[in-house]
């Protein structure tokens, strides 16, 4: 890329350090997807075999697309809509990927922020000693029966987002992620130690890792694939946006390895904490979206210092959700600032208002919740990822593609290109065909 291509790096604030970028991108990846969603869909889909398919999707589809998004962002230095225009000219159809990303951001945020509100509710309940008072089993039902409270908490979460995102990447986003991620990790490891002491630990491990492929249905495969996109924040340009703030010489491969490793490890640890608890206290692993909200408080109720630990845990989970939500909002804000010429503050406020409104039906209807959840992970993100793979693999001009491939270390260039060309489209395409047949 020459410096002239209307790359906007010159005028933009970049990440303060490479670690800042890794933490921010990992902050985007690690969120409710790891601690709330991964255990819940693993439970619904029967455990081990699902986990194996999910891990395969992370490696075969997630990693190559993550690298593609990183490179597209780094090379163009702009939002996902403009990125394709920088490379292909103003009229390019590829910028549809960016528009779909904007849609996906709204769809995801509509339920993500509601679940984050649940976490905030559990911060308050924990601090009030609800578990010690024997309310661990009923708390989630109380909450989901109270729409007003859910809307209020969803609003609080969004208000926090407006404040941080309006301040811009470096001031707001990077500072927040630097501290909070490591603390969350420590707390999870502490809980894992506790889980190993439970009598249900063995069964929990078995549930998570013993793969019984007779239990795996086509829907499980679709949901494993969708979750690979969701958990790594792929398929809608979040990683394009974050890497657009990277200097040209930053090493994408090592950053990706770290991010994928952290994201996967945190999900697996969350599973290793939650399923042993479920088996020890006779809770239902297939409970659905309420899984962590029924299992964890039950365990905290048994623990010395449980009130404090629980408060801290749900607080950190809310922060993890926050750093992920920031990346979702940032995609839309960056796109609006660059393409509509809006001020950052105005863009942030309007986008967040839209998200707030989109969350209201989600609070009132479990069906709508499910619909938003599945429409984003199982349709929009895989489709976005497929288009990104097709673009880098086949759509780009040969000389641009050569330059893109050359940005990676020599040993992985061929493998990466052919994975994007064949493996990713074949796997995602297969899953889509399945979706369509199921639908018909
Ligand atoms: N990856 C985040 C999580 O696991 C959610 C998220 C943030 C996301 N940004 C995204 C999902 C972009 C898809 C696309 O909680």
Which residue in 318, 326, 243, 225 sits closest to 32, CA to CA?
Answer: 318
Question: What is the distance in A from the centroid of ligand 1 to the CA of 34?
Answer: 9
To 10 degrees, the CA torsion angle through 75, 79, 85, 87? 10
pLDDT tens digit sequence for 88-100: 999 999 999 999 9
Smallest CA separation from ligand 1 atom 13, residue: 233
pLDDT tens digit sequence for 376-403: 999 999 999 999 999 999 999 999 999 8
CA dist 294 and 43 (Å) reads 13
Question: What is the distance in A from the centroid of ligand 1 to the CA of 32?
Answer: 8
Residue 364: how many other CB atoms lie within 10 Å = 12
CB of 295 within 6 A of ligand 1: the answer is no
Confidence of residue 418 (pLDDT cuts 50, 70, 90): very high
CA dist 190 and 232 (Å) reads 24
CB of 233 within 6 A of ligand 1: the answer is yes
Which residue in 290, 33, 284, 36 sits closest to 143, CA to CA?
Answer: 290
Ramachandran area for residue 168 (φ above 0: left; ψ -120 to 50: alpha; else beta): left
Question: What is the distance in A from the centroid of ligand 1 to the CA of 403?
Answer: 29
Smallest CA separation from ligand 1 atom 7, residue: 324
The answer to whether 285 touches 295, Cβ cutoff 8 Å, is: no
pLDDT tens digit sequence for 2-37: 333 334 444 566 776 777 788 888 889 999 999 999
Give the mean model confidence (pLDDT) for residues 41-51. Answer: 96
CB of 29 within 6 A of ligand 1: the answer is yes
Max Cα-Cα span within the chain? 66
Smallest CA separation from ligand 1 atom 10, residue: 233
Q: How far is CA 320 from CA 32, 369, 395, 416, in A?
A: 7, 21, 36, 30
CA dist 240 and 255 (Å) reads 14
Residue 272: how many other CB atoms lie within 10 Å = 21
Most ligand 1 atoms within 8 A of CB, residue of 35, 177, 241, 327 to mutate: 327
CB of 33 within 6 A of ligand 1: the answer is yes
CA dist 308 and 274 (Å) reads 19
pLDDT tens digit sequence for 289-311: 999 999 999 999 998 888 998 99
CA dist 160 and 61 (Å) reads 33
- The rounded Cα 180 to chain-centroid distance in angstroms is 16
pLDDT tens digit sequence for 332-366: 999 999 999 999 999 999 999 999 999 999 999 99
Question: What is the distance in A from the centroid of ligand 1 to the CA of 87?
Answer: 26
Q: Determine the Cα angle at 44 with ends 38 and 50, to 5°.
A: 65
Confidence of residue 288 (pLDDT cuts 50, 70, 90): very high
CB of 35 within 6 A of ligand 1: the answer is no
How confident is the prediction for the chain on average, in pLDDT?
Answer: 91
Question: What is the distance in A from the centroid of ligand 1 to the CA of 325?
Answer: 7
Q: Determine the Cα angle at 133 with ends 130 and 139, to 5°.
A: 45
CB of 32 within 6 A of ligand 1: the answer is yes
Smallest CA separation from ligand 1 atom 14, residue: 233
Non-local CB neighbours of 279 within 8 Å, separated by 6+ positions: 198, 200, 203, 204, 207, 285
CB of 327 within 6 A of ligand 1: the answer is yes
DSSP state of 15: P
Res. 151: pLDDT tops 50 = yes
Q: What's the token pair of residue 113?
A: 């922020």
What is the structure's pLDDT at 172? Answer: 61
CB of 34 within 6 A of ligand 1: the answer is yes
What is the structure's pLDDT at 123? Answer: 97
The answer to whether 122 touches 139, Cβ cutoff 8 Å, is: yes
CB of 259 within 6 A of ligand 1: the answer is no
- The rounded Cα 114 to chain-centroid distance in angstroms is 15
Q: Mapped to the 3 state alphabet, what secondary structure does 124-186 carry? A: HHHHCCCCCCCCCCCHHHHHHCCHHHHHHHHHHHHHHHHHHHHCCHHHHHHHHHHHHHHHHHH
Give the mean model confidence (pLDDT) for residues 409-423. Answer: 94
Single pTM value for the model: 0.93
Q: Report the nearest atom of ligand 1 relative to the CA of 235.
A: 14
pLDDT tens digit sequence for 152-210: 999 999 999 998 888 876 666 667 667 777 888 888 999 999 999 999 999 999 999 99
Q: Transcribe 241-269 into DSSP letters.
A: HHHTTS-TT--HHHHHHHHHHHHHHHHHH
pLDDT tens digit sequence for 226-277: 999 999 999 999 999 989 988 887 889 999 999 999 999 999 999 999 999 9
* Backbone dihedral angles phi then psi of residue 390, each to the nearest 5 degrees: -65, -35
The answer to whether 26 touches 262, Cβ cutoff 8 Å, is: yes
- The rounded Cα 118 to chain-centroid distance in angstroms is 17
């Amino acid at each position: 890329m020459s410096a002239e291509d209307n790359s906007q790096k010159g005028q933009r604030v970049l990440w303060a350090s490479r670690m800042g970028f890794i933490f921010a991108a990992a902050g985007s990846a690690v969120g409710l997807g790891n601690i709330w969603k991964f255990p819940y869909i693993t439970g619904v889909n029967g455990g081990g075999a699902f986990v194996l398919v999910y891990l395969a999707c992370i490696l075969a589809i997630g990693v190559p697309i993550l690298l593609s998004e990183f490179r597209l962002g780094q090379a163009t230095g702009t939002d996902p809509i403009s990125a394709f225009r920088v490379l292909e000219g103003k009229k390019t159809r590829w910028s549809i990927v960016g528009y779909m990303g904007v849609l996906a951001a709204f769809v995801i945020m509509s339920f993500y922020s509601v679940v984050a509100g649940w976490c905030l509710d559990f911060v308050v309940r924990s601090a009030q000693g609800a578990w010690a008072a024997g309310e661990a089993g009923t708390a989630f039902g109380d909450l989901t029966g109270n729409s007003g409270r859910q809307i209020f908490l969803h609003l609080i979460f969004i208000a926090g987002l407006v404040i941080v995102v309006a301040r811009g990447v470096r001031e707001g986003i990077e500072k927040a992620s630097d501290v909070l991620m490591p603390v969350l990790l420590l707390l999870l490891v502490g809980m894992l130690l506790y889980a190993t002491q439970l009598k249900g630990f063995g069964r929990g491990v078995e549930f998570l890792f013993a793969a019984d492929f007779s239990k795996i249905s086509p829907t499980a495969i679709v949901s494993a694939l969708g979750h690979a996109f969701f958990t790594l924040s792929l398929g809608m340009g979040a990683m394009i946006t974050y890497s657009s703030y990277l200097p040209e010489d930053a090493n994408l491969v090592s950053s990706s390895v770290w991010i994928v490793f952290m994201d996967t490890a945190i999900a697996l640890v969350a599973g290793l904490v939650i399923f042993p608890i479920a088996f020890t206290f006779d809770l239902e692993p297939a409970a659905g979206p309420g899984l962590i909200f029924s299992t964890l408080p039950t365990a905290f109720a048994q623990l010395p210092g449980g009130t404090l630990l629980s408060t801290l845990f749900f607080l950190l989970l809310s922060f993890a959700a926050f750093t992920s939500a920031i990346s979702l909002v940032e995609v839309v804000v960056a796109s609006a600032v660059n393409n509509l010429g809006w001020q950052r503050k105005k863009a942030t406020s309007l986008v967040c208002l839209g998200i707030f409104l989109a969350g209201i039906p989600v609070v009132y209807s479990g069906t709508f919740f499910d619909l938003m959840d599945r429409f984003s992970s199982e349709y929009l993100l895989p489709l976005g990822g497929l288009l990104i793979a097709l673009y880098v693999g086949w759509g780009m001009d040969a000389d641009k593609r050569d330059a893109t491939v050359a940005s990676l270390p020599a040993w992985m260039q061929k493998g990466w290109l052919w994975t994007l060309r064949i493996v990713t489209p074949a796997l995602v395409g297969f899953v889509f065909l399945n979706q369509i047949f199921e639908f018909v």
